[in-house]
Structures are given as C-alpha cells and as structure tokens.
Amino acid sequence: MKIATCLLLLTIYSFNHKLNNNIIIGDHVVLNQEPDVSLVNLIANPDKYNGKKIRVIGYLHLEFEGNGLYLHKDDYDHAISKNSIWVSIGPKHPEVSNLKQYSDHYVIMEGTYNSEMTGHMGMNSGSIENITRLDIWEPANWKPIKKK
C-alpha cells in the first residue's frame, strides 16, 4: 500500500511539474513540445543537441549567404558570427518571400539542430534545420504559469 501511495504521489508531482513548464499566451496554454535551449548552450555543447528538436530565442538576420540566429543584436551588428547559428532556409523554401518580415527581429524558432552544418564558409556555430515554428518574440505577451 505504501509503494502504491508513493507511486501515485510521484505521478501527480510529475504531472504538475510538467504543467508548470507550460506558457500562457492571453487565455491560451501552449504546451512545451520541444525543449527550450539557449543559444549559449547550443554553441558550448553542440554534440549534446545534434540531431535533436529544439526551441530557441535569438536575434534573426536573413540575407543571401548570411542567414543567422544571433545571441544578441550587437553580435550581428559587430559581425560576431560564431555567436550565431546558421538558419537553413533555401531560396526554394515555399515561404521564403514571407520570411523577410522576421529578419532583424528577436524571434522564437523551433527546428532540428545540426552541429556539423556551420553555415556559409563555416562562419556559424551549427545550424537549425527543418524549421517548424518561427514567430517574432514579444516577451510582454509571454508569461510563465505561476506556481501555487
């Protein structure tokens, strides 16, 4: 009986812990489906995330042979490309013309990290491919669920 009670409590704790990692946007709850990773962690530990789906926030700049998701706008402004990851969007991407609206903004992006693809002439620190989400990051609208 004690073991069953402990397992039940552990299950409830795990369920509540996962709920507390969700994000509220207005009246909607967005479930964390991809692991949140900082660009610092990607750059420092590329093999740990290689081939894994990730969610990351950074400053996005898109241009021919220069697509990058940077730690900060200052890194882009000062051409510190090792503080960025390549964003793999080819010219044949179906929405490439609509993507310019995201350039030169902080964005949240989900996709698969590839530590071996380092962008044009190896300038970046890995890449994000097979992008499944791209939104402008507006932190004023994002609030973590408060723990009770």
Q: Over the stretch 31-77, which tens digit does the pLDDT of each residue have?
A: 555 688 989 998 899 899 999 999 999 999 998 888 899 999 999 99
Of residues 141 and 93, which shows the higher confidence score? Answer: 141
Determine, yes or no, domain membership for 136: yes
- Are 6 and 66 contained in the same domain? no
Question: How far is it, in rounded angstroms, from Cα 60 to Cα 74?
Answer: 12
β pairing state of 142-144 and 23-25: antiparallel
- Are 42 and 27 contained in the same domain? no
| Res. 26: pLDDT tops 50 | no
> In which domain, by residue range, is 48 found?
34-141
Of residues 100 and 113, which shows the higher confidence score? Answer: 113
* C-beta separation of 20 from 145 below 8 A: yes
Of residues 28 and 44, which shows the higher confidence score? Answer: 44
Comparing CA positions, the residue from 127, 135, 136 lying closest to residue 84 is 127
| Number of structural domains found in the chain | 2
Determine, yes or no, domain membership for 148: no
Provide the b/e sequence for 55-74 (b: ≥16 CB within 10 Å): bbbbbbbbeeebbbbbbeee
What is the sign of the dihedral through the CA atoms of 33, 83, 89 and 116? negative
- Are 58 and 40 contained in the same domain? yes
**Model pTM above 0.75:** no
Determine, yes or no, domain membership for 146: no
Contacts of 40 (CB under 8 A, 6+ apart): 71
